[in-house]
Amino acid sequence: MNVKKFTAPTSREALRKVREALGPDAVILSNRPMDGVVEILALANDDAASLASPVDDAPPGAPHLDLDDGYAAAPAPVAARQPQMAARPAMQAPSAPMPRAPFAPSMPPQSMHPMQPPAHQPIQQATHQPVQQAMHQPRQQAMPPAVDMASISALLAEAVNSAKANAAAEMHGMMTELRAMRGMMETQLAELSWGSAQQREPHKAAVLRELLAAGFSATLARRLLDKLPAGRGADEALRWIRTVLARNIGAMANEDALIERGGVFALVGPTGVGKTTSTAKLAARCVMRHGPEKLALITTDAYRIGAHEQLRIYGKILGVMVHSVKDEADLRIALKELRNKHTVLIDTVGVSQRDQMVTEQVAMLQGTDVDVKRLLCLNATSTQETLTEVVRAYQGSGLAGSIITKLDEAASLGNVLDVVIRQKLQLFYVSNGQRVPEDLHLAQPAELVERAFRLKKDGSDLTDGELPMLMAAAGNDGLREVHLG
């Protein structure tokens, strides 16, 4: 055995000397730093083969350092190893050694005994496998991922939708600004126009004051003044406007269209507008015309305490049976049982125009198999804004008519007449008291318009400079066509 020692400042230098002296198949026995240098003990491959022993408990071969890649895993010659492997018992399997790391100057010295069983082939496989994995792993990570066309399509679609949404938002903002600019310009031009018209035609300012004092809206007043014939004085223009207002109030000519024809009528409206009292007044007129056996009363007001008792008292006085229903199913059954009656009057529960129950009530009346005509009760003491909300809430598929209540309590009638004209409601009756059935009258449009102007308020609080601004701010929104006659 010819063991040689090599020293060098670094491990790389020492390994180079081993390679030059003993060849690339040399076996490294030990390496350690000594006095600032690295000492390596090496053995030639032929000398390592001669160390093989035929004893069973001395496995052949010795580990060595593969100088090509710097890892200790080179096997002994196969011819010298096969007989010894065949002689090993089956129960004495060599233990799998741990792979050795490459030599570096910072690593601690490592040594091997020449007779240590290395199991060369498993060591070589275990040693080279991590090296191959380490060599191929960065290459696999550097490879670009597979292109997913579905993900790319989804990203493109998302980008397109986002661009469309941004464009729509910008367009909406631009249109809003344009509408605001148009409205401002229209207001200023209308103000200038009305200011000049007031100077040219002073009688229009006088008529405008009369309309506003009677309770009519600036929107309706602007429409009427725009159509006012030229060459008329203030009194003549006011008479023309009264005639136009009366012609635009649709009223029932006589009671025969309601009482003689009969049918199913439901009085609807907010709380406290007089639906129960108006129902009793209509019931009294039907009883006087056809008798109590031709009339039936139904109440759906199960919310207020004693509400149905009030109608039962009226029914007892008139000799008419009063039926109480809770929902659409009960109403359908009651109407089916009362199909032989000439007239059926339904007193509904009062609901605020902003309550969701309004929609449910309208759906309940429209969900029956019978044609239920809805009559809207309008409180004459309410403002135009409130009455407009009430009409829009109870409109549904259409109202058969309306009844103006509390006419005796109203300080102005122009507000309710303005809503009737603008919403094109059919006016049946007006109620001016609590007496049954005396305080219920057919609507007379001309009398109502004259009464509205008689109850007018003092309109002198508006100055000449404020009238153009008021008329300029009044648009045609919510104003249906006015028939001038």
> Which string of DSSP letters, residue by residue, matches 215-230?
T--HHHHHHHHHTPPS
Distance CA 191, CA 358 (A): 40
Distance CA 28, CA 481 (A): 111
37-43 and 3-8: which strand pairing?
A: antiparallel
Both tokens of 385, joined, read 């804004």
Instruction: Give Cα 384 distance to the centre of its chain.
Output: 32
Whole-number percent of the chain with pLDDT over 90: 14
Answer with the residue of higher pLDDT: 116 or 293: 293
C-alpha distance across the termini of the chain, in Å: 136
Q: Which residues contact 353 (CB under 8 A, 6 or more apart)?
A: 270, 386, 389, 390, 392, 393, 394
Least confidently predicted of 18-27, 179-188, 243-252: 179-188
pTM summary value = 0.57
Whole-number percent of the chain with pLDDT over 70: 68
pLDDT in tens, 198-251: 556 767 777 888 888 888 888 888 888 878 887 777 788 889 999 999 999 988
Domains of the chain (ranges plus CATH)? 3-135 (no CATH), 250-442 (3.40.50.300)
| Phi (first) and psi of residue 316, to 5 degrees | -65, -40
Asked if the bond preceding 105 is cis, omega within 30° of 0, the reply is no
Least confidently predicted of 412-421, 438-447, 455-464: 455-464
Answer with the residue of higher pLDDT: 177 or 140: 177
Give the three-class secondary structure for 129: helix
Q: Report the pLDDT averaged over residues 394-409.
A: 88
| Phi (first) and psi of residue 3, to 5 degrees | -90, 130
